[in-house]
Structure 1
Amino acid sequence: MQYVLFPGRHHLLTRFQADYLRSLPKSDGGTVVWAVTSANHANTRRNPVAYHRREAAIERFSVMTGLRSLVVPVFDTAPTDRFAEVTIKNIATETGIGLTPANTVVACSTPEVAALYARLGFEIATVEQETGAERPWDVLIRLANGDESWRELAHPATVDVFDRYQLADAVRTVVNDPVVGDEGGLTATRDYRSYAESFADSAARKWSAVREYVRPGRIVDIGCGAGAVLELADREPALRESDLVGVEVARHLFDECVHKKAQGVFANPNVFFYRRNVLGGAVFPPRSVDTTLTFALTHEIWSYGERASSLRAFVQAIYDHTAPGGVWINSDVCGPDDRGRPVLLRLDRTDGENPVEPRRDLAERPPAEVAAYVAGLSTRARFDQFAVDYRFPVEYKVDGDALRLSFGDAMDYLTRKDYTANWLSETQEQFCGLEYADWKSLLADVGFEVDSASRTLRNDWVVDNRIAPVASLTDLDGRPLDWPITHVLLVARRPLNT
């Protein structure tokens, strides 16, 4: 055989792989073709190591083992039974080499993937599968779990690259991250295109609300989405000498930020983007940031993390990287004052369908079907569906024509009920986990001073157009309650003497 095709993610190379590849019969000048899949992914649980670091380790592996190698990046694709064909065509495009069953053996230990190549007529060398040797991913998990025996199993080429670029700590952080999912986002059910469009549409309003509190210098937008707010900051003459930094954990949104910068959207040359999760460790040196911006982010940290403990860790990280006299500006949803008090909620039954029972299979249905079904429910029936799909248990009782539940749970439903397009994503998030008093207490406890500019707000358009026409709130004696606040703007400063 002239070639050995070795498809895989190749985040870590092992001593076993070196011995195995050397043992395969190859003609003189035989070449190992490393098809590095998910080459456009990094910093996720499934793909913690960036392609260029994987490539560096393979090239060093090649030199150390004497195996002639070609390294070809293969971008991630949607699951397809034509994966083998796509990979072979990708290699031909990149290298001009045509791999065929006559000149190539495929080295692959994953039966499902090997079957795709076998179907095309390729001979399969099953690598770890035929010997029971530990697979590279298992060795990587040893590393992530703090088991130093990974160094004995990994090939010295990988150990060298990991040590030089401090990748071991980065892998541990990403693989063990409690917030970020396997593919680098907070949730697998979110439609990031509509999400980015929504943020872009509201960017001007957000920037207008916070602009006067921004301190020039190093300005960081954490959870920057597709960079819409930083685009507006970039146009401010007073900030032309500032560094503008976007931090985004979701791969889809980060990629869009990088694309915008490459297309010349930003005039300021000092615009930078990082793909990081702040909860995974310090992103910036202590006392190095003048202004931190967060929009609609803290409720996600609360929801997808470990609620109070994750949020406190985030606030502490912000405080630590804020320069004395610097400011953190946080705009987000907020629970009503006295959110635990019991209330009576009455909901319209005439504005949609009223099935006998809520469905319990929506998580397995296509997004368009979910959206259409939920949108067709009455406001009252949609609450029953919300109670099934909501990640945070809702305690309620039917009280005549009303529901008896907490003020916070009532508002969590009412402020979420119209997000049918992203229903399974939105029902993973809690809007009313904290009220304003909780925020002030947390900020003071960490060390921030709460500026007098901080305030709560109510989205009157949502109340007037989406909530009040189909719902009413009373206390337990039937007295009507005013619709409460829905959002908070926090301006928190690190004291100069810290």
Structure 2
Amino acid sequence: MNKRQEEKKAWLRGLVKHVEPGKIVEFGCGSGFVLEVLSNQFPDSIIVGMDKSIERLKEVISKNLKNVIPIQADITENIFPKATFDTALFVGSLHEVFSYLGEEKVRDAFRIAHGVLKDNGVLIVQDFLKPSPKSVELILKNEEIKRRFLRFADEFRPRKVRYQERNHGVKLDIADAVEFISKYHSPSEEDWKQEMNETHFFFAQGDYQKVAQQTGFVIKKSKRLPKDQYWWEEIEKDIQITFESEYRWIQLVLVKRVAEASCLGSKP
């Protein structure tokens, strides 16, 4: 395991401590990094990994996780019986729903999670956190990173990227700045093209909380998560910035509210 993977697993430990064992589902499991952590931590639980990509699910299968069941389906599809799971997770998957299907489908994903959870079941959400609007400056340290930024500004499809050139970089809104920072290390041309269709920073903290409450959840915990130092060290080889503290993920721990009717005894 390389240093990046080690730090990523350490980052997930704060998530795992909120998981209720038993029956667990991860919506949008990708190639199974989170599933691997869950499988090791909860060997007696039944864990379902759901993703629409058969290629990613093949990677899950290759990990030979004995208590993990991979299922191919879109996370906005309601395929499970009601009150099936003790814990559900969205880890880095809701921004893809927002990018390709829109905000209402994000709400649908929350509603589906609510439906498949048992009473007092836990939903854990971990995804990018949109910063408050303001202008910031990126110092681009070499010609390659300057070309990469110009390509990003030209090809990013979710919205038009507006910027002003400076002597050694660009001035732009922080939302566009963090989008570029999160994408410019794309490992392949295929990955880059996919990233140009997605916005990572789609909801502020209040937006997440509002959707959670509207879909029947009680907010147990809402925490902003920083990126690890190793990640920033890699970024700073190419880009100088002054707003590291505003590049955040969010972690929400939500509890399914018990319906009032189920709490009342029957009348004589």
TM-score (norm 2): 0.83
Tell me which residue corresponds to 2:204. 435
Tell me which residue corresponds to 1:493. 255
Task: Give the Cα–Cα distance (whole angstroms) in 2 for the partners of residues 209 and 393 of structure 1.
Answer: 33
Which structure carries more strand by proportion? Answer: 2
Q: Does 1:351 align with 2:142?
A: yes
Tell me the SS of whatever aligns to 1:405.
Answer: strand
Q: Which amino acid aligns with 1:411?
A: V
Q: Which amino acid aligns with 1:391?
A: R
Once the 2 structures are TM-superposed, how far is the Cα of residue 487 of structure 1 from its aligned partner? 1.0
Tell me the SS of whatever aligns to 1:415.
Answer: helix
Give the conservation status (yes or no) of the 8 Å contact 1:414–1:467. Answer: no
Once the 2 structures are TM-superposed, how far is the Cα of residue 226 of structure 1 from its aligned partner? 3.0
Distance verdict in 2 for CA 1:467–1:496, change over 3 Å: farther
Tell me which residue corresponds to 2:117. 322
Task: Give the Cα–Cα distance (whole angstroms) in 2 for the partners of residues 425 and 457 of structure 1.
Answer: 25
Q: Does 1:273 align with 2:70?
A: yes
Distance verdict in 2 for CA 1:303–1:199, change over 3 Å: farther
Task: Give the Cα–Cα distance (whole angstroms) in 2 for the partners of residues 228 and 418 of structure 1.
Answer: 19
Distance verdict in 2 for CA 1:417–1:458, change over 3 Å: same
Q: Does 1:471 align with 2:263?
A: no
Task: Give the Cα–Cα distance (whole angstroms) in 2 for the partners of residues 285 and 468 of structure 1.
Answer: 49
Over the residues paired in the alignment, what is the CA RMSD in angstroms?
2.7
Once the 2 structures are TM-superposed, how far is the Cα of residue 275 of structure 1 from its aligned partner? 0.7
Tell me the SS of whatever aligns to 2:183.
Answer: coil
Give the conservation status (yes or no) of the 8 Å contact 2:122–2:256. Answer: yes
Distance verdict in 2 for CA 1:434–1:387, change over 3 Å: same
Describe the superposition over 1:349-398 as per-residue Cα deviations: whole angstroms up to 9, x where unpaired. x512xxxxxxxxxxxxxxxxxxxxxxxx2x33321110111122234142
Which shifted more, 411-420 or 398-407?
A: 398-407
Describe the superposition over 1:265-305 as per-residue Cα deviations: whole angstroms up to 9, x where unpaired. 3344xx422111122x3121122211012221111111122
Q: Which amino acid aligns with 1:450?
A: I
Task: Give the Cα–Cα distance (whole angstroms) in 2 for the partners of residues 399 and 342 of structure 1.
Answer: 17
Matches within 5 A, 1:439-450: 439-450=208-219
Task: Give the Cα–Cα distance (whole angstroms) in 1 for the partners of residues 59 and 151 of structure 2.
Answer: 34
Give the conservation status (yes or no) of the 8 Å contact 2:87–2:122. Answer: yes
Distance verdict in 2 for CA 1:471–1:266, change over 3 Å: closer
Once the 2 structures are TM-superposed, how far is the Cα of residue 328 of structure 1 from its aligned partner? 0.8
Q: Which runs of 5+ in 1 are unaligned?
A: 1-196, 353-376, 474-480
Tell me the SS of whatever aligns to 1:490.
Answer: strand
Q: Does 1:459 align with 2:209?
A: no
Give the conservation status (yes or no) of the 8 Å contact 1:347–1:380. Answer: no
TM-score (norm 1): 0.47
Tell me which residue corresponds to 1:245. 48
Report percent identity of matched pairs: 21
Distance verdict in 2 for CA 1:326–1:416, change over 3 Å: same
Give the conservation status (yes or no) of the 8 Å contact 1:303–1:429. Answer: yes
Describe the superposition over 1:457-488 as per-residue Cα deviations: whole angstroms up to 9, x where unpaired. 12142334414862335xxxxxxx56413211
Tell me which residue corresponds to 1:214. 19
Task: Give the Cα–Cα distance (whole angstroms) in 1 for the partners of residues 216 and 13 of structure 2.
Answer: 27
Q: Which amino acid aligns with 1:285?
A: P
Task: Give the Cα–Cα distance (whole angstroms) in 1 for the partners of residues 39 and 244 of structure 2.
Answer: 40
Once the 2 structures are TM-superposed, how far is the Cα of residue 252 of structure 1 from its aligned partner? 0.5
Distance verdict in 2 for CA 1:428–1:249, change over 3 Å: same
Give the conservation status (yes or no) of the 8 Å contact 1:227–1:257. Answer: yes
Distance verdict in 2 for CA 1:215–1:305, change over 3 Å: same
Describe the superposition over 1:52-82 as per-residue Cα deviations: whole angstroms up to 9, x where unpaired. xxxxxxxxxxxxxxxxxxxxxxxxxxxxxxx
Higher relative contact order (CA 8 A, sep 6+): 2
Give the conservation status (yes or no) of the 8 Å contact 2:227–2:248. Answer: yes
Tell me which residue corresponds to 1:80. none
Matches within 5 A, 1:266-305: 266-268=65-67, 271-279=68-76, 281-305=77-101
Q: Which amino acid aligns with 1:232?
A: V
Q: Does 1:257 align with 2:49?
A: no
Give the conservation status (yes or no) of the 8 Å contact 1:456–1:487. Answer: yes
Task: Give the Cα–Cα distance (whole angstroms) in 1 for the partners of residues 74 and 4 of structure 2.
Answer: 19
Q: Which runs of 5+ in 2 are unaligned?
A: 261-268
Give the conservation status (yes or no) of the 8 Å contact 2:138–2:171. Answer: no
Tell me the SS of whatever aligns to 2:246.
Answer: coil
